[in-house]
A and B are shown apart, each in its own frame.
Chain A
Amino acid sequence: MRQLIELNVNGEVYPIDVEGRTRLLDALRDKCLLTGAKEGCSTGDCGACTVLLDSMPVTSCLVLAASAVGKQITTIEGVAKGEALHPVQRAFMDLGGLQCGICTPGMIMTSIALLEENPNATRDEIRYGLQGNLCRCTGYDKIVDAVQAAAHEMDGRRRGTPRVETGGNPAMAGPLQADTTGGRSPGAR
């Protein structure tokens, strides 16, 4: 049964039509054209589709779109505030927390929720919190490094100590449209 619903994603309202069985992941990717959340399994096992539903991380492949009505949905596209990256995003970049990047949106969403709940998470707690997100490229070490570094950074901000420079890439700290063509192909429409 088709129905018109409104999803609130990253602070914007998306009026979309869905079927009763439409999954939140498909609604986001195919209807809202927010393709940041990825599909790796469709069975809740890989975590690549993780988004936040009222700050709770959920695997959006197992959530019905209609059930997300009235909730605040946050996807990877909504994490950076304007040009300012979230500390977790920056740490993943700077510390090699990503390779192919397909797990990265889900990893970052889970990490943000994890640090929100436990700002002083230890390495073991970070590993525990990320167990639902599979990564086949990194062996996880550098992901844990990144989340830990982000935790320190966020802790520093809360205490008002100056931001620790993690030695990022100035060319990339610019607008999100920065020319990092490695990922986009010229021929793509």
Chain B
Amino acid sequence: MTATETKTTTTNGRTDGANGVHQIGRSVPRIDALDKVTGRAQYTADLHLPGTCYGAFLRSPHAHARVVSIDTSEAERMPGVVAVISAASIARDLAIVVEEEMHAARRVLSLFPNVGGKVTYHGQKIAAVAAATKELAEEACERIKVEYEVLPPVIDVREAVKEGAPLVHDETKPVDGLDHGPFAAPTLFNIAGQNHRNEGDVDAGFREADRIFEDTYVIPRAHQTYIEPQSTVADVARDGSVTVWTSTQGHFAVRSNLANSLRIPLSKINVIGMTIGGGFGAKFGGIVDTYCVLLAQKARRPVKIIYTREEEFLDAKPAPGAVITVKTGVKEDGTITARQAWALWDTGVGSGGCYATNRVKGVYKIEHFKVDAYDVHTNKPAPGAYRAPGAPQATFAGETQLNRICAAMGWDPVEFRLKNMREGDQIAFKETLQAVADRAGWAKRQSKTGPNEGWGVAVGEWTNGAGPASAVVSVHEDGKVHVFYGLMDLTGTDTAMAQIAAEVLGVRYEDVTVSRGDTNSAPFGTASGGSVVTFSFGNAVKRAAEDAKKRLLELAADHLEVAVEDLELANGRVSVKGNDESLVTVAQLGQMALRSKGGPIVGHGSFASEPSATTTAAQIVKVSFDPDTGQVRLRKLYGSLDVGKALNPMACEGQMEGGLVQGFAWGLMEQMRYAEDGRNWNPGLLDYRVPTTLDFPDIESVMVEMPTKNGPFGVKGIGEPPIAPGVACLVSAVADATGVWINEVPLTPERVLHAIKANGKK
């Protein structure tokens, strides 16, 4: 199988589709673009329900402390305050009597710390207030009196695993440690989860090697920094049924989380997913919605909570940091004999990260591979997903080290990768790397490199998920098509779905409308994350459209008095093959259907799961650095991605570019910093720097299309992989420019200068 490389400029494929031109593969504008450029799109914060009151939180000023007392009485007495909730009030409201009930209520009781219990990170919620205005709610929070007994925090994972480190959760049991490797110890502490993987025999593999390299890579926590903060509006009716308007990637996920944590029957919760202002993995609920519903239950009025940017940094779900040690054996002939990784993931008070360590293996043929990885508790908030969760961190370690090996051995990093890459059905590792190397002119890069300039390359891999999805496609009496489902549009997927329905039903994209149902009205659908959507909902919409098409053809066959097999559907009409005269339009069929035995044309489609295919993102960067200031500048950026099939090339490029910039930014400037006392050091956009227009150059994107059997029209899930290679790519380019391998990011000017001085280079 060969990959077809699509040269992509933004105006490509802009055909109008009127003459039997395909509706997939067109770079049509987003279906919601008009609402978004005119300010009409409704985000959660834009809702103004009559009688709304506003929620605010009291948060812990300490990273680690015991709560000695909480006194909410003054806040409760304030005029304008309609509800105050804390651990004590929840326990009172539950009026728990029996043991079983206690167990079921565990989750709601854990929403706030109890008196006698602990706060475990700076910014943790202690209590919440709803009041007539936001200012009043904040003022009431300030009037809540809390006494703390401050405890020493633990911030660095390498300290947290050691004997004697403060325990973040008192109940965490020590686990048996490793007798080898960078953090060998009989016992490890603060362990939240572990992942051990063993393929082949690494010791034998290392014995075969001519050279062995071992490096430790350190990457900090990063915040997804969606521009729309977490936000929810909740209202509770007299009968206790709950309506929630929220910014989420999965309104069904929010519903089940609310049902579980607040013990409300699923059928009594309706979640309305509003337009989402960015999520990147962090908007699956639980951060504000649960509290908003609790306040609304008490207030009996709509309650609105909009996080501030500071709250985002203090108490959301950022990507975990990691310390990853990688050991790799190679032979002089350029093959890899073995690879081993040890990792500590900084998962704060939660868990989730260590499984991604397996990605250190990369896309290469490595017979002997071993991983020992741990999630480690520290006094920081629990982590969440950020685009391809864990991939940027693991790829940073795996790919940077390959580049260092290539530099030490005198090998070309692209050729070395091509030689060692796995091959397989429906995967295009080599084609994708080759495509970006060709676009960047990699082979001739030396001739394009000035002093203090350097090049880097890296490859990331990702396999999209699959999940339950369903859709209804109807053909209306004016010949227009409507798609209805419960998909949250995070990345432009409504547009892709409209294109799929149009393609199947032989109408133009412009003749398709899409609406998203709330959880009461829409058939179930998985959340928008894990690159599942275009794959899963795409299949469901395609099946629903095919179902509707079947009805259309049957009606047409009846009308034209021919067999279904003799008909073709295109350009908004059904005609008899080989006889252009004999035809009926989709609009006419839509009208006929109303009077037909079967009634209006409605197609149904559902999907649960299919094996999905792996995709690859390869990136190349040229950087320059200023030896006086240490400032690194990106000069040229190239990215390629195996998209399977580009339903909408412009939208694919948008995903590639957005993801690429997020990856590089993590390597260049982003880091959540914590002071020694555990307090978040940079909870604002002035100190937590995300890229502006000035930080990045133009990006050249190349799409590779290696279709997968199971995706609709061959598409693969593409939202996540472009974030994976950036950190490694950047660090390697800076090493190429400076001669120094800096194994800790971000590459701030101070860090770069310091590293160069320490190495006596330049």
Contact = CB atoms under 8 A, between A and B. Distances in A.
Contacts of A170: 16, 510
Contacts of A183: 32, 35-36, 40-42, 275
Interface stretch (A1-9, A122-130, A154-162): A122-130
22 contacts: A38-B277, A40-B227, A40-B309, A77-B40, A92-B33, A92-B37, A100-B276, A102-B278, A105-B39, A136-B662, A139-B661, A142-B653, A144-B693, A169-B510, A170-B16, A171-B511, A176-B38, A180-B33, A180-B34, A185-B272, A186-B516, A187-B243
Interface stretch (B105-113, B489-497, B563-571): B489-497
Contacts of B447: none
Nearest to A19: B135
B38 A80 contact: yes
B692 interface: yes
Contact of B37 (A35, A93, A127): A93
B490 A100 contact: yes
B274 interface: yes
B518 interface: yes
Contacts of A90: 37
B178 interface: no
A20 interface: no
A136 B226 contact: yes
Contacts of B36: 98, 101, 104, 183
B11 interface: yes
B423 interface: no
Given A134-B690, A176-B34, A41 B684 contact: yes
A148 to B, nearest CB: 11
Interface in B1-60: 10-11, 14, 16, 27-43, 45-49
B228 A100 contact: yes
A48 interface: yes
A139 B699 contact: yes
B654 A142 contact: yes
B654 A182 contact: no
Contact of B39 (A75, A94, A132, A187): A75
Contact of B227 (A79, A108, A134, A176): A134
B227 A89 contact: no
A133 B495 CA distance: 26
Interface string B506-550: 000111011111101100000000000000000000000000000
A184 B47 CA distance: 11
Nearest to B29: A93
A99 interface: yes
A183 to B, nearest CB: 4
Contacts of A133: 692-693
The 4 A-B pairs with the shortest beta carbon distances in the complex, nearest first, are: A36-B39, A102-B277, A101-B36, A139-B657
A85 interface: yes
Given A40-B228, A181-B513, A186 B40 contact: no
A180 B35 contact: yes
A181 B514 contact: yes
B245 A188 contact: yes
B651 interface: yes
Given A96-B654, A140-B696, A38 B45 contact: yes
B43 A45 contact: no
B734 interface: no
Nearest to A104: B36
B614 interface: no
Interface string B358-370: 0000000000000
Interface residues of B, number: 85
B237 to A, nearest CB: 13
B34 A93 contact: yes
Contacts of B408: none
A126 B517 CA distance: 39
A35 B518 contact: no
B723 to A, nearest CB: 11
Contacts of A56: none
A128 B661 contact: no
A98 B227 CA distance: 13
B29 to A, nearest CB: 5
Which of A35, A43, A178, A183 has the most chain B CB within a 10 Å cutoff? A183
Given A43-B684, A136-B662, A142-B653, 20 more contacts: A30-B48, A34-B39, A35-B43, A36-B40, A76-B39, A100-B490, A102-B228, A104-B37, A108-B37, A123-B698, A134-B227, A139-B658, A170-B16, A180-B33, A180-B35, A182-B494, A182-B514, A183-B41, A183-B42, A185-B516
A92 B41 CA distance: 15
A39 B45 contact: yes
A166 to B, nearest CB: 8
B275 A101 contact: yes
A43 B272 contact: no
Which of A34, A76, A132 has the most chain B CB within a 10 Å cutoff? A76
Contact of B43 (A102, A169, A187): A102
A182 B306 contact: no
Contact of A33 (B28, B48, B226): B48
Nearest to B639: A139
Interface string B267-294: 0001011111111100000000000000
Contacts of A171: 510-511
Given A45-B685, A142-B653, A182-B514, A95 B39 contact: no
A99 B655 CA distance: 9
A186 B227 contact: no
B618 interface: no
Given A38-B45, A40-B228, A167-B14, A100 B38 contact: no
A132 B272 CA distance: 32
B660 interface: yes
Contact of B33 (A39, A80, A172, A176): A172
Contact of B226 (A34, A42, A100): A100
B309 A42 contact: yes
B280 A136 contact: yes
A79 B306 CA distance: 27
B686 interface: yes
A187 B272 contact: yes
B305 to A, nearest CB: 13
B657 A142 contact: yes
Contacts of B509: 169
Contacts of B658: 99, 136-139
A46 interface: yes
Nearest to B28: A169
Interface string A13-33: 000000000000000011001
B476 to A, nearest CB: 11
A103 interface: yes
B46 A35 contact: yes
A58 B489 CA distance: 30
Given A38-B45, A140-B693, A184-B42, A98 B37 contact: yes
A96 B651 contact: yes
A146 to B, nearest CB: 9
A40 B685 CA distance: 10
A85 B40 CA distance: 13
A102 B650 CA distance: 19
A180 B193 CA distance: 45
A143 B661 CA distance: 14
Contact of A42 (B41, B47, B308, B489): B308
Given A102-B43, A134-B692, A136-B690, A184 B35 contact: yes
B28 to A, nearest CB: 6
Which of B49, B279, B308, B658 has the most chain A CB within a 10 Å cutoff? B658
A79 B10 CA distance: 25
Nearest to B684: A43
Contact of B278 (A100, A143, A184): A100
B296 to A, nearest CB: 15
A166 B422 CA distance: 42
Given A98-B30, A136-B278, A181-B514, A131 B309 contact: no
A101 B32 contact: yes
Contacts of A41: 309, 684-685
A11 to B, nearest CB: 15
